[in-house]
Amino acid sequence: MTDITRFTRRAALGAAAMAAATIALPGAAQAQYDFSGQTVEWIIPFGTGGGSDTWARFNAPFLSRHLPGNPTVAVVNEPGGGSTRGANLFATRAQADGLTILGTSGSTQFPYLLGDPRVRYEYQDWSVVMVGPTGGVAYASPSTGISSVEEIGDLVGQRLTYASQGATSLDLVPMLAFRLLGLDVHYVFGFGGRGDGRLAFERGEVNIDYQTSSAFINNVTPLVEAGEAIPLMSWGVLDEDGNPQRDPTFPDLPILEEVYEMVHGEAPSGDLYDAYKAFNTAGFAAQKMVVLPEGASDELVEVYRQAWRDVFADPEYQETYAAALGAYGQVTDGGADALFRAGTTIDPEVRAMVVQILSDEYNVRLGD
């Protein structure tokens, strides 16, 4: 079993004990980095209301509590370019003084993996201090005529509409999933975040959508309870051997593999399924990262990692994070490093195939 699958398994099953392991913080680092009376800006390259925003705003008070000097941790939304705008600003402007951190997402990883020319950032220049795996749920409007996932086959042949941040954003995972299932989905690009996509769904402008687990729990569950949204499937988690399993946060929902069998009568396979799996891993097992900018010292990295260890060990955090974010253990130290590597690398052949699909189907031109 590889380090990556070990850490993915632990994260997906919410094994926070690994992340809560205590390591002594060097006294020199404590003295050098005292953030008393200061504000740490946590850049989130998306609009308000989406999964990344929800994740950061839940974590920010705990990070404030456990950083030296208890600084204010302010979430700053910098949407645009499918998250590349905010990441580019961080790469060019952030000082390595601990007062600016970035929260990335699969929507930030994907343009990087695909060679998107909008990308002006290099992941390998950054220092990862925390990774928050997550899941996601696709759902449809009852206006499509279905009332449960068992009727998903009735969506085949319908013209469906989806509000997207962009073809190289985290929306690539549902795009590949819908393509595998044979659904006819029309994508309206240019939305600032998944929160905007959900609002378009609520207004009846689109009839199929997806949200990350935290946003689904907080914002879509009321729609489901009101009969205004029909859950279809989750993106699942990986077991210790790297095989897809049901998401522990949504154990009653089938995963893409099960839904594919409902529709097609056999298990998915082939290059397109390989592409789905690759981007699902990059977008969810290693989905949300907290990074420090280029030039961050080893001492500063340790300060932040110690803060996250303390956050994960905080009794209040342990009691509340699953309800807010889902049953996914957040990780630091070696677990974060392994997931960072998994989420920022891709097989060249898979990349080439997806780039070709984006070019042929959505007129997206990417750099070499």
DSSP class of residue 25 equals P
Distance CA 90, CA 84 (A): 10
* Percentage of the chain modeled with pLDDT above 70: 90
**Which pLDDT band, with edges at 50, 70 and 90, does 5 fall under?**
very low
CB 199, CB 222: distance < 8 Å: no
Structure tokens at 213: 């687990």
- 30 pLDDT higher than 90: no
Lowest model confidence (mean pLDDT) among 286-290, 338-342, 352-356:
338-342
pTM: 0.74
Q: What is the pLDDT of residue 141?
A: 98
Q: What are the start and end residues of each CATH 3.40.190.10 domain in the chain?
A: 136-281
Average pLDDT of the segment spanning 245-272: 94
Percent composition of the chain: helix, strand, coil (DSSP 3-state, to 5): 50, 15, 35
- Tens-place pLDDT, residues 146-197: 999 999 999 999 999 999 988 888 899 999 999 999 999 999 998 888 899 9
Q: What angle do CA 215, 184, 178 make, to 5 degrees?
A: 45
Other Cβ atoms within 10 Å of 21 Cβ, number: 13
Q: What is the pLDDT of residue 74?
A: 98
Q: What is the pLDDT of residue 28?
A: 53
**Which pLDDT band, with edges at 50, 70 and 90, does 367 fall under?**
low
Distance CA 168, CA 109 (A): 9
Among left, alpha and beta (phi > 0; psi -120 to 50; other), residue 154 is: alpha
Residue carrying structure tokens 């402007």: 93
- 365 pLDDT higher than 90: no
Q: Fold for domain 136-281?
A: D-Maltodextrin-Binding Protein; domain 2 (3.40.190)
- Tens-place pLDDT, residues 60-101: 999 999 999 999 999 999 999 889 999 999 999 999 999 999
Closest-CA residue to 163 (of 118, 109, 208):
208
Average pLDDT of every residue of the chain: 88
Distance CA 190, CA 212 (A): 18
Among left, alpha and beta (phi > 0; psi -120 to 50; other), residue 125 is: alpha
CB 115, CB 364: distance < 8 Å: no
**Which pLDDT band, with edges at 50, 70 and 90, does 3 fall under?**
very low
- Tens-place pLDDT, residues 194-209: 899 999 999 999 999 9
CATH number for region 3-133+283-349: 3.40.190.150
Q: What angle do CA 274, 45, 52 make, to 5 degrees?
A: 65
Q: What is the pLDDT of residue 31?
A: 59
- 352 pLDDT higher than 70: yes
- 2 pLDDT higher than 80: no
Q: What are the start and end residues of each CATH 3.40.190.150 domain in the chain?
A: 3-133+283-349
